[in-house]
Homo-oligomer: A and B are copies of this chain.
Amino acid sequence: AASPLLSPLTTLRRYSARRRGGSGGGISSSRMNALAATSRNFKQAAKLLGLDSKLEKSLLIPFREIKVECTIPKDDGTLASYVGFRVQHDNARGPMKGGIRYHHEVDPDEVNALAQLMTWKTAVANIPYGGAKGGIGCSPGDLSISELERLTRVFTQKIHDLIGIHTDVPAPDMGTNAQTMAWILDEYSKFHGYSPAVVTGKPVDLGGSLGRDAATGRGVLFATEALLAEHGKGIAGQRFVIQGFGNVGSWAAQLITEAGGKVIAISDVTGAVKNSNGIDIAKLMKHSAENRGIKGFDGGDAVDPTSLLTEECDVLIPAALGGVINK
């Protein structure tokens, strides 16, 4: 089978997925972790730029890393303690910006790498922000909504003095969503007064941006268009395999379909579907909402999710890690 085209932006995510034995696994030779990969890339860039070695070292060390203990009463009355953290990489170009993820295997090295990547991403996009990333080591799917609220509020109490509209502005990430941001906003405001700008990705009703929901998926579309354009191609007529059907994958699938692409296979944690004539994404959206996953969808053949990564296609989109809150 022909090797699919992979955009450079997804390379890091692939490394990360692999380290965990990844949901879609299979590619096993590389052993480099996210931080090592990011640092290697930065060092290559530094060499090309002729950066002073002291400045290079300074840019690799994060501005600040913080870990805090978050203890909450569970619904059953027992206590549970979680470790929350925030890595703030660089604020030379403006307030730091980056997601907060809730995941049971939050990996300090990976988060460190992602915070650093946020610095480079905001710089390359030339917007006046720096880079950060954070999260809590927990399994959001195992916590009730009210436990998640208590955990988010305690975490916010512990870091409120280190974030802020001129300092560091969190956003949703894996395992967190607009509701999480609303809790942060509310708890932060107890200490600093009404501060809607302290988070992005909050509910539209509380001042969140229109289009935020689809933004990452739309970014996948744009990146894919750019990558294909380098090969003299367009979205229309290409065959896509999408690994993941959460916030990113489902929007990517919709937008690619709108742009004339043919999605021939999709997986999520419940299963995978394949249809070489193109999957009816609107129908799959409806099925997934009603059945909490792809499993059982009759608009194609059910296949082994791990088989997707070797499926013949023009573009493979790995989007497998997000959107698992309270399913």
Contacts and interface: CB of A to CB of B under 8 A. Distances in A.
Contact of A66 (B66, B71, B94, B157): B66
A95 B79 CA distance: 23
A20 interface: no
A30 interface: no
A58 B81 contact: yes
Contacts of A63: 68-69
Contact of A62 (B69, B128, B191): B69
A158 B65 CA distance: 11
A121 interface: no
Interface string A149-166: 000000001100110101
B166 A91 contact: no
A61 B195 CA distance: 23
B67 A81 contact: no
A195 B167 CA distance: 10
A189 B164 CA distance: 13
A167 B146 contact: no
Nearest to A94: B194
Given A55-B79, A81-B54, A128 B67 contact: no
A31 interface: no
A32 interface: no
Interface string A64-95: 11111101010001111101000000010011
